[in-house]
Amino acid sequence: MRNQKQSARAVANHILQRIEADGAYSDIVLSHTLEQHTLPERDRALVSELVRGCVRWKMHLDWIVQQLFQGEISKMPLDVRILLWQALYQLKIMKTPEYAVVNEYVRLVKELQRFAWTGVVNGLLRNYIRHAQEISLPDPISHPIEHVALATSHPEWLVSRWQQQFGDEITRQVCEANNRVPALSARVNQTQISVDDFCAVLDMQQTRYERSLLPGFVRILDVKDELRWTLLAEGKMTIQDESAGLVTFLAEPQSGEIVVDLCAAPGGKTTHLAEAAPGCIVMSGDIHRRRTRLIRVAEERLKLGNIYIVTADALNFPVVKANCVLLDAPCSGLGLLRKKPEIRWQRREQDIAELIALQKKLLRRAAEYVAPGGRLIYSTCTIDQEENEQVVFDFCANSDFMIAPADLNQIPPEFVTRDGFIRTWPHLHNMDGAFAAKLKKRNIV
């Protein structure tokens, strides 16, 4: 049943409480909640902006609250604390007029029946408006990690880890890029429509876009409902980040080949492989039946006929000898912080060591499915060096595989490292942070 009464800010507060209290994923709970409310398009956009913005910036916003609140912030009710995040986000990031913010959020405190906190919220917001310029971050010289962490709203352990791997400047640039709203990346299904015709439809819909450096991809700059009912529903496009699309260009599937995609759900890379080489056979697998259904739905929507779907653990996949095996490995997801900002708060540093052990185990197993002379693609959606280059180097040192550098005739050189791997960065390429390596099995029978 649809709710027509709550304001956009109240709906956003409800969603943020779900995310904070239950650990819910922002995109899922946002989509589900908006379906239950009848809100004008402008209000829906505000809800989305407040939810994603507050999840991104909550550490920074909490810092401001701590500077202005006289009591212990841990004793503040969660719904009130989130209201303050929303109000400060509108004041600091969205530059909403001050009077509108203060009046609306004081009203919302009363609506939540937190009457004892009305004066606190009113006073804190007015105090911020008067003294915003006086609120300073820790000194960048004496406390460099804490400064970057608070300035860009990233956990200190992550800033410290990246500074050790990439240095101070790249770390700051990555953290800043993680707080920018990404454009929507569309992969054109060229088995159904040419890129030129696809762009012509966007022109007719008066949708702003730009062509990607990556063939077959288009960045859509203002998303309209027409996309859902025409190009998307009709199977003429797939929403996929360009960084993920690079994996297919690295794999180079050919007609007549058997290509295996392990850990394949929800099917973005599987369907791209199938589109790129309609004459190949793509065996696509995932351990969970409910997730393999997502692959089936994608295959049917895109009208593809060369995908064979298997419900199986990657460690116990039906025995094949494939020309190409893709292992899109479980990873920390630290390259996805623009689109899934809650990952920065949910991930723990100790998780990474556990994931690396799993990645190495899966890679060794995936290697057994590759025919002599075949290709093994290892990909992740993280920028962490230990999950990426180090996993590959360790594997090659103890196997009959060697690194096959990316073909610069297939892949733009700005995405290729000196070792021949693919690496994308949010601050350099306006893409998700991702990694991929092509490994070739020595031709030993």
H-helix or E-strand spanning residue 15: helix 8-22
Residues 6+ apart with CB under 8 A from 84: 61, 65, 105, 121, 124, 125
Rounded to the nearest angstrom, the gap between the alpha carbon of residue 420 and the centroid of all alpha carbons in its chain is 24
The β-bridge relationship of strands 322-328 and 370-380 is parallel
Contact between residue 77 and residue 20 where contact means Cβ atoms under 8 Å apart:
no
Q: Cα 50 to the chain's mean position, in Å?
A: 18
Contact 389, 380 (CB under 8 A): no
- Here the contacts of 147-150 (C-beta below 8 Å, separation 24 or greater) are 148/172, 148/175, 149/59, 150/59, 150/60, 150/63
The residue type found at 415 is F
Specify the residue for token string 């203060």: 102
- The number of CA neighbours under 13 Å toward the Cβ of 416 is 16
Q: Which of 261, 272, 434, 266 is nearest to 339 (CA)?
A: 434
Strands 209-211, 307-311: pairing kind: unpaired
State phi, psi for 174 to the nearest 5 degrees. -65, -45
The span from the CA of 16 to the CA of 157, in Å, is 24
What residues are annotated to the active site? 381
Distance from CA of residue 170 to its chain's centroid?
19
User: How far is residue 390's CA from residue 395's CA, in Å, rounded to a whole number?
Assistant: 8
Helix, strand and coil in the chain, % to nearest 5:
50, 15, 35
* Token pair for 313: 């653990």
